[in-house]
């Protein structure tokens, strides 16, 4: 299993300046490339928040409309991923403010539901316990985990998005995952 504290090798690289500039001028090809690079990650982020596929689809589409509208004002700082996720996070805040909806599970994580042969391997009580531990975290801590493990952002991208130092973000996520690990271990010792 890969170390969750190392940078991900499968994350898409930051889009190059030429593509972003082309999208800023309205190039349909460049906009499609941006959509292809980010749509899945943004959808997963929204699904982890609302736990409803149709609403996550709508929020993803709304986010890309807002990205297209805001692109002419984007000032390249080498952190396009952080910028686009800030648009998504703002859209999530607006959604919850408008609808007063809360995710089905307060932890905001879509943990897998096991069925068939997997039920024999994974104990549903472990998933329920993990959910309880995630719910015990404050929203800031859950958001850090969402951005890292659901949104698949790097530490540098999360730091840029939240206006923190990369090392601070890395340490906070490491501390959170270690705390969850030890809490889970304590229940099984």
Quote the pLDDT of residue 148.
Answer: 93
Are 66 and 143 in a shared domain?
Answer: no
Are 135 and 154 in a shared domain?
Answer: yes
Q: How confident is the model at residue 132 (pLDDT cuts 50, 70, 90)?
A: confident
Q: Which domain holds residue 124?
A: 106-189
Note the pTM of the prediction, 2 decimals: 0.75
Q: Is it the case that residue 106 has pLDDT exceeding 50?
A: no
Higher pLDDT, 11 or 160: 160
Residue 95, C-beta contacts closer than 8 angstroms, at least 6 positions apart:
50, 55, 59, 101
Q: Which of 72, 104, 136 is the last residue of a domain?
A: 104
Q: How confident is the model at residue 10 (pLDDT cuts 50, 70, 90)?
A: very low
Quote the pLDDT of residue 160.
Answer: 93
Q: Report the chain's mean pLDDT, rounded to a whole number.
A: 82
């Amino acid at each position: 299993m890969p170390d969750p504290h190392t940078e991900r090798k499968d994350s898409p690289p930051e889009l190059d300046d030429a593509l972003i500039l082309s999208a800023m001028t309205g190039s349909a090809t460049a906009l499609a490339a941006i959509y292809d690079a980010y749509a899945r990650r943004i959808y997963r982020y929204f699904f982890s928040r609302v736990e409803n596929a149709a609403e996550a689809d709508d929020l993803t589409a709304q986010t890309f409309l807002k990205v297209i509208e805001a692109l002419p004002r984007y000032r390249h700082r080498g952190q396009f991923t952080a910028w686009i996720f800030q648009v998504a996070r703002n859209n999530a805040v607006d959604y919850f403010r408008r609808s007063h909806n809360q995710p089905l599970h307060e932890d905001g994580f879509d943990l897998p539901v096991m069925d068939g042969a997997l039920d024999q391997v994974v104990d549903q009580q472990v998933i329920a316990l993990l959910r309880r531990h995630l719910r015990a975290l404050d929203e800031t801590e859950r958001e850090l985990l969402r951005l890292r493990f659901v949104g698949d952002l790097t530490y540098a991208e999360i730091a840029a998005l939240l206006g923190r130092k990369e090392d601070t973000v890395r340490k906070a996520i490491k501390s959170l995952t270690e705390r969850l690990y030890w809490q889970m271990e304590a229940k099984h010792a």
